C-alpha cells in the first residue's frame, strides 16, 4: 500500500513534492483487518436492520373538534425493478375508517404527482392525495370514500388542483402498510397493522 501526497499549491519556481509511504506488513495487516471488520458490520446491519423504520401518526385538522377521530393510515411505496419494495414513505390518513383489518380499502397502484385531491368531511377532517392528474386523484379518493363512516360524507366537499411550489415528480406507488388508530391521536400505538409486503 502506498500513499502519495502532492503539494497542492506550489510556487511558480517549485516542483510539486511527492511523498511515498511504502507498503509494510503491519499496514497491510491493519488494512486487511479493517476491510474484514467493515464487511462484517455491513453484513450484520443488513441482517438486523432489514426492518423498515415506519411511524404512522394520525392527522389533525385546523378546526379541531377533537383529536380522537379513528384513522387508518396507509403508507404507499414504490416497487424496485427487481420486484422488491422501496421505502413506505408516503402516508395517507383516512379519518373515520369504518371497517376492520379484513375490510381494507382496495387501493391498487396509482401514480403520485404534483396534482392534489382533497376530500373534506362534514366534521372538517380531510383526506389529501397527490397524484399525477385529477382523474387519478379522484380514483384514489373514491376508494377511500368507500370505507369512511357514511354519515360524514353528507355535506363533504372535494377540491382538485395543481400543487404550488416545487414539483414532487411522478412515481408509481402501491399500498405497503396500514395502521389503524381507533382513538386517533389519543394513543401513539396502532390498534392493528397490516403489511402487504
Domain boundaries, the chain: 3-48, 71-195
Show the beta-strand stretches assigned E in the chain: 3-6, 18-21, 71-77, 90-95, 110-112, 115-120, 126-131, 157-162, 171-181, 192-195
pLDDT of residue 6: 44
pLDDT in tens, the chain (197 residues): 444 444 444 556 666 555 455 555 666 666 667 667 666 766 666 665 555 666 666 665 454 556 678 999 999 999 988 988 888 789 999 999 988 888 877 888 999 999 999 999 999 999 999 999 999 999 999 999 999 999 999 999 999 999 888 888 899 999 999 999 988 877 778 999 988 87
pLDDT of residue 188: 79
pLDDT of residue 4: 45
Amino acid at each position: 500500500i502506498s500513499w502519495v501526497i502532492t503539494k497542492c499549491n506550489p510556487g511558480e519556481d517549485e516542483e510539486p513534492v511527492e511523498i511515498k509511504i511504502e507498503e509494510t506488513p503491519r499496514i497491510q495487516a491493519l488494512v486487511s483487518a479493517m476491510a474484514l471488520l467493515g464487511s462484517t458490520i455491513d453484513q450484520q446491519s443488513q441482517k438486523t436492520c432489514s426492518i423498515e423504520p415506519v411511524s404512522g401518526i394520525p392527522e389533525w385538522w385546523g378546526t379541531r373538534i377533537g383529536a380522537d377521530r379513528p384513522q387508518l393510515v396507509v403508507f404507499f411505496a414504490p416497487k424496485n425493478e427487481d420486484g422488491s419494495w422501496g421505502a413506505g414513505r408516503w402516508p395517507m390518513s383516512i379519518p373515520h375508517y369504518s371497517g376492520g383489518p379484513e375490510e381494507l380499502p382496495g387501493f391498487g397502484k396509482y401514480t403520485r404527482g404534483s396534482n392534489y385531491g382533497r376530500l373534506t368531511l362534514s366534521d372538517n377532517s380531510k383526506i389529501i392525495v397527490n397524484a399525477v392528474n385529477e382523474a387519478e386523484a379522484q380514483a384514489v379518493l373514491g376508494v377511500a370514500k368507500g370505507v369512511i363512516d357514511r354519515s360524514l360524507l353528507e355535506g363533504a366537499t372535494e377540491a382538485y388542483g395543481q400543487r404550488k411550489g416545487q414539483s414532487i415528480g411522478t412515481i408509481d406507488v402501491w399500498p405497503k402498510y396500514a395502521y389503524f388508530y381507533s382513538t386517533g391521536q389519543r394513543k401513539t400505538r396502532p390498534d392493528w397493522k397490516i403489511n402487504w409486503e
